[in-house]
Amino acid sequence: MLHIQNLRKTYPTTDGEIVALDNLSLVVNRGDFVAVVGRSGSGKTTLLNMIGGLDTPDSGSVMVDGIDMVRLPPKRAALLRRKTIGVIYQFYNLIPELTLRENITLPTELDGREIDEERLDHILSVVGLKGREGAYPDALSGGQQQRVAIARALFGQPSLLLADEPTGNLDAENSREIMRLLTMMNQTYGITVLMVTHSEEAAASAGRIITMADGRIIDDRRR
Amino acid sequence: MSPIRKIALRRIKQAPIKHLLLFAAILVSMMLISMLVFFSAETILRQNLAEKELPLSSFLQTVRLCITVAAGFLVLCSAIMIRIHIGLNRKQNEQLLAVLTSVGASPAQKKAFPFTQLQLIYAPAALCGILPGSLLGVTLGRRFLGTLGALISPAPSALLYLGVLLAQVIVGVGITALCCLLPQITFTPRSVISALKRQNPRAAVTSHSYRQSNTFKQKSLLRRLAQKSVDYSAPTYHTISLSFSISAFYPILMLLMMWHLLHVKVVLDANPFDGIETTGAVVSAVSHLFLCLGIFFLLLTLIGLASAWLMVRLQYANRRAAGKTYFSIGMDNADFRRVMRHELQTLILRSAIVLLIGTMIANTAFLMCVGG
Ligand SMILES: Nc1ncnc2c1ncn2[C@@H]1O[C@H](COP(=O)(O)OP(=O)(O)OP(=O)(O)O)[C@@H](O)[C@H]1O
Ligand SMILES: [Mg+2]
């Protein structure tokens, strides 16, 4: 599903170069649930951004389903993102000017496809937001907003889900709820999940835990 | 309706005053510019050729030159104004584009957003301003020539006016389009990430290198805090000071133009062959023009000041929110007010410098017109 080879990314700063990713290689199989852990600044977010095509590496390749994301022209990369990759970030997942429903259907509408109302209804009840379709993100709590982002990812039927600290600013109860949803996405829908987290509890629900330090993978454990 | 269009429409609904000011600014600027263009066109098209040898024609020439210069400055000012308004939404736009990118919007779909804004606000405002402005310009030009006794009776063909109008529409809409599309097209993946991260890496880097310098360390702590805040929200402070200077620049431009135009009368007075009631005629010829110009410049100044005030209030609210951090490390309210005062001083100083430079450039330009 995901083949990363010799990925390297450096950022120039006033005190010299920061190596965010240091020749990192990683293979993730279809249907895996991978948690990425590591100290702050170890390059986890950078890795996720590379896979999602939001940032370009200095060298190396990121193959998603056999397609190299790095060298794909922007238009094709956008199409790939829309169809196969779902993303959930810690902040700013939603567009404040769109209602909950419109946020969820955004990728589908950008794709010009018809909206499957039944599926939307089903997903809304899965994430527990039925009846709030018309609300704007401002009127939702942090946990609810995160659930909308999950619903959006789910509605797009991706084969790969990238989540950057999805429970980062949530309380224990909301975190458990989000983790339940992510596990469900992985097990029921067979979506490959790559999740960055600082929480041991969240990492515990993953089948594989990767530990990063200084832009490298220093530990890779399966349970 | 496409989601992109929905977003654009709801933004207008959420901040009606901001968008109304923008609409008014573009409308009045375009009206004024097209009034000046058509005034010049009318005086060229309907000027009595027999008068060509007289000093009157050189007077007309000077008036036209001055008007061209003023129109040039106005185009520049309105371009900056539009950029300022777009700058106001920079953060919002970056976040929007970041989310759109992450959910897989194609490059064309991302560009659709600024185009929709162009369609909804910028272009209608420009078009609404151009037609009445051109009619006003023609009327004023005709009256001007009439007072000087240099109007030829047969009007040139309507086709000619249509041509000028078309050129005006193309230039007007072209400039607005350029101003509002340029910043969005230079959008890079780097800004997607910083938008998602809620950080401002560029400002952090500049303030960092600044902090290393020795002069900086010797300043008082409060002044340093103020300086850091100005560095950190550099785009906001640039925008506010630019907005203030432009608002103040409008009346200055108007006064400079009047002053230089009224000075030309000395040349007319000195010539015994001009055949017109010199001073009185000149004053009455330009009085209507000046009246209209005065109203327009006043409107532009008011609109500019209103939007600058809007920005100041926003920034003050931001700073108040950030003030909590100062209180939490043991500073009191008086300290915070002093920091704010330092920031305000920087703002005023910057506006004054920009205004001074602008005035000097404009004055030189007018001098060149009148002197040459
Ligand atoms: N835009 C940038 N400019 C300069 N350096 C950057 C930039 N983005 C990231 N870095 C640096 O790259 C390194 C890796 O950052 P990254 O955000 O991937 O860390 P992370 O593992 O996600 O940390 P956290 O757990 O705190 O989110 C850090 O040292 C960071 O300072
Ligand atoms: Mg991170």
Residue B245 has pLDDT above 80, yes or no: yes
**Minimum mean pLDDT range among A170-174, B264-268, B334-338, B352-356:** B264-268
Partner-chain contact B99 A93, CB within 8 Å: yes
Task: Kindly state whether residue A212 falls inside one of the protein's structural domains.
Answer: yes
Q: How much is the pLDDT for B182?
A: 65
Looking at the 3D structure of chain A, how many domains does it have?
1
Residues contacting ligand 1 via CB (< 6 Å): A 11, 13, 18, 20, 38, 40-46; B 201
Handedness of CA B184, B188, B194, B200 (dihedral sign): negative
Taking only the tens place, the pLDDT of each residue in B306-327 is: 888 888 888 888 888 777 777 7
User: To test ligand 1's pocket by mutation, which of A9, A24, A39, A44 has the most ligand atoms within 8 angstroms of CB?
Assistant: A44
Q: Which ligand is nearest to the CA of B193?
A: 1
Using 50, 70 and 90 to split pLDDT, how confident is the model at B222?
A: confident
* A137 near B CB under 8 A: no
Ligand 1 mean position, distance from CA A21 (Å) = 10
- Maximum separation of any 2 CA atoms in chain A, in Å: 55
Residue A205, CB-side half-sphere exposure with 13 Å CA sphere: 23
Work out the average pLDDT over B275-292. 69
Partner-chain contact A97 B6, CB within 8 Å: yes
How is residue A220 annotated by DSSP? E
Amino acid identity, position B14 = Q
CB A1 within 8 A of CB A32: yes
Residue B265 has pLDDT above 60, yes or no: no
Residue B246 zone, left/alpha/beta (φ > 0; ψ -120 to 50; rest): alpha
Rounded-to-integer distance, Cα B29 and Cα B173, Å: 12
Taking only the tens place, the pLDDT of each residue in B227-241 is: 888 887 777 788 888
The more confidently predicted of residues A44 and B177 is: A44
Q: Which residues does B328 contact at the CB level (< 8 Å), separation at least 6?
A: none
User: To test ligand 1's pocket by mutation, which of A7, A13, A18, A198 has the most ligand atoms within 8 angstroms of CB?
Assistant: A18
Partner-chain contact B6 A14, CB within 8 Å: no
Residue B357 has pLDDT above 90, yes or no: yes
Report the mean per-residue pLDDT for chain A.
Answer: 87
The B-side interface with A (CB below 8 A) comprises: 2-3, 6-7, 10-11, 14, 95-96, 98-109, 189-190, 192-193, 195-198, 205, 208-209
Burial of residue B170, with CB atoms counted within 10 A of its CB: 0-12 exposed, 13-18 middle, 19 or more buried? exposed
CB B370 within 8 A of CB B264: yes
Q: How much is the pLDDT for B195?
A: 60
How is residue B121 annotated by DSSP? I
CB B9 within 8 A of CB B119: no
The more confidently predicted of residues B330 and A116 is: A116
Q: Which ligand is nearest to the CA of A163?
A: 2
Q: What pTM did the predictor assign?
A: 0.75
CB B160 within 8 A of CB B154: no
Amino acid identity, position B97 = L
Taking only the tens place, the pLDDT of each residue in A64-101 is: 888 888 888 888 888 888 888 888 887 767 888 899 99
Using 50, 70 and 90 to split pLDDT, how confident is the model at A37?
A: very high
Q: Give the domain CATH number at A23.
A: 3.40.50.300
CB A22 within 8 A of CB A215: yes
Rounded-to-integer distance, Cα B305 and Cα B240, Å: 10
* 3-state DSSP assignment of residue A140: coil
Burial of residue A17, with CB atoms counted within 10 A of its CB: 0-12 exposed, 13-18 middle, 19 or more buried? exposed
Q: How much is the pLDDT for B219?
A: 59
DSSP track, A93-128: -S-TTS-HHHHHHHHHHHTTPPP-HHHHHHHHHHTT
Listed residue (B324, B300, B261, B291) closest to B82, CA to CA: B300
Q: Which ligand is nearest to the CA of A40?
A: 1
Report the mean per-residue pLDDT for chain B.
Answer: 77
Q: Please give, rounded to a whole number of angstroms, the shortest distance from the CA of B233 to a CA of chain A.
A: 20
* A135 near B CB under 8 A: no
Partner-chain contact A98 B96, CB within 8 Å: no
Contacts of B15 in chain A (CB under 8 A): none
Taking only the tens place, the pLDDT of each residue in A124-160 is: 888 888 888 889 998 888 888 888 988 898 888 889 9
Taking only the tens place, the pLDDT of each residue in B84-112 is: 777 777 777 878 888 888 888 888 888 88
Q: What angle do CA B212, B214, B215 make, to 5 degrees?
A: 120
How is residue B187 annotated by DSSP? -
Instruction: List residues bridging with A13 in a β-sheet.
Output: A16
Q: How much is the pLDDT for A104?
A: 92
Which residue's structure tokens are 């990192």?
A24
CB A39 within 8 A of CB A197: no
Task: Kindly state whether residue A114 falls inside one of the protein's structural domains.
Answer: no
CB count within 10 Å of CB B358 equals 19
Q: How much is the pLDDT for B199?
A: 42
The more confidently predicted of residues B181 and B22 is: B22
Q: How much is the pLDDT for A103?
A: 92
Task: Kindly state whether residue A120 falls inside one of the protein's structural domains.
Answer: no
Task: Kindly state whether residue A140 falls inside one of the protein's structural domains.
Answer: no
Work out the average pLDDT over B67-90. 80
Q: What angle do CA A122, B109, A85 make, to 5 degrees?
A: 45
Using 50, 70 and 90 to split pLDDT, how confident is the model at B207?
A: very low
Using 50, 70 and 90 to split pLDDT, how confident is the model at B26?
A: confident
Contacts of A75 in chain B (CB under 8 A): 106-108
Q: What is the span of the domain harbouring residue A170?
A: 2-93+157-222
Task: Kindly state whether residue A174 falls inside one of the protein's structural domains.
Answer: yes
Q: How much is the pLDDT for B203?
A: 44
